[in-house]
Amino acid sequence: MRLAGKHILSMSESDITYFTHKGILFTPVGTSVEILNYVENEFQLFDDDIVTVTYPKSGTNWMLEILGLIQHGGDPSWVRSTPVWDRCPWIEVHECHQKALKYLPPRLLTSHLPFQLFPKSFIHSKAKIIYVLRNPKDVLVSSYHFSKFFKVFEDPGATEEFLEKFLRGNVAYGSWFDHVRGWMELKDRPNFFLFTYEDLQKNLPGNVEKLSQILGKNLNSQQINAVVENASFHKMKDNNMSNFTQTPLFDQSTGKFMRKGISGDWKNHLTVAQNEYFDRVYQEKMQDIKTIPLWE
């Protein structure tokens, strides 16, 4: 994989400095201002496309595993033989969108882009958006750990420092609050579907059924059970096409992509004062948004 003149294998974390595009921070590995402009203005979405959109660390890869399994009637062969970035390319990552351009519809695509940078071609298309939301406190914790071992992200620094960066949106892909607010503007569109990480945990079979209908697949109960089983945290943790153990982008000695897979881990990380501070910022930024779930 190439990055701005450097090879990923010769890179250390100190080489990484985010760049800003239209007010949002991005890692220079795999993307650039040119690619982001191309994706926003020229990338064509087709009516049959299914795009999983998330703020990073919200359960993207879980959703991608579920969708890949649904597409194959619960048969795990595809998700166990093809890396997730080939199954469901991230459109803002150069190598991935080059692949996406060659795929025929119906394509499974992925994006972490905020709505204002998403392909303009979406506006007049019937492409389906599957938006996954997760409690931002768990996103913060997952992101903190991830930034320590994902070599293309800046070092998160101390917890206190990262909390401040996260709440101000000075992290890759910008502010969680702005991302969610931007995408929620689409909530009434018939091709926008909202899922939450927490609800996937509470009722995976029900959500798999709903997703099957969105994909136009009528799975029987045996197939739904097969999707549920093969998309479990433990099955995904052992699937090296989904657990990111096969890529040089991760320092496997400092963390694991399939870390804990639970809700509420923030309680093990945030102090009472940090939690209260988070709540104050959340209230201030999200008080007028009534449609998103309340997290405990």
Pick the catalytic residue from 97, 112, 145, 179.
Answer: 112
156: number of Cβ within 10 Å: 18
CB of 262 to ligand PPS, least distance (A): 7
CB of 44 to ligand PPS, least distance (A): 24
* Alpha carbons 266 and 135: distance in angstroms, whole number: 9
Greatest extent of the chain over all pairs of C-alpha atoms, in Å = 51
Q: What is the CA radius of gyration of the chain?
A: 18
- Output 47 or 155, the one with its CB closest to ligand PPS: 155
- Output 30 or 56, the one with its CB closest to ligand PPS: 56
CB of 152 to ligand PPS, least distance (A): 11
Residues in contact with ligand PPS by CB under 6 A are 54, 56-62, 138, 142, 145, 231-233, 236, 258-261, 265
CB of 124 to ligand PPS, least distance (A): 28
Write out the DSSP string of 257-289. SS----S-GGGGT--HHHHHHHHHHHHHHHTT-
Would you give the DSSP letter of residue 185? Answer: T
Catalytic site includes residue 112: yes
Instruction: Specify whether the CB–CB gap between 255 and 145 falls below 8 A.
Output: yes
Quick one: residue 175, left, alpha or beta (phi over 0 = left, psi -120 to 50 = alpha)?
beta
DSSP H/E element including 21: strand 19-21
- Output 143 or 223, the one with its CB closest to ligand PPS: 143
Q: How far is CA 255 from CA 52, 203, 238, in A?
A: 25, 28, 15
CB of 142 to ligand PPS, least distance (A): 3
- Chain centre to alpha carbon of residue 207: 18
Strand 2-3 versus strand 6-7 pairing type: antiparallel
- Output 58 or 175, the one with its CB closest to ligand PPS: 58
* Alpha carbons 293 and 279: distance in angstroms, whole number: 14
- Output 167 or 171, the one with its CB closest to ligand PPS: 171
Q: Which residues are catalytic?
A: 112
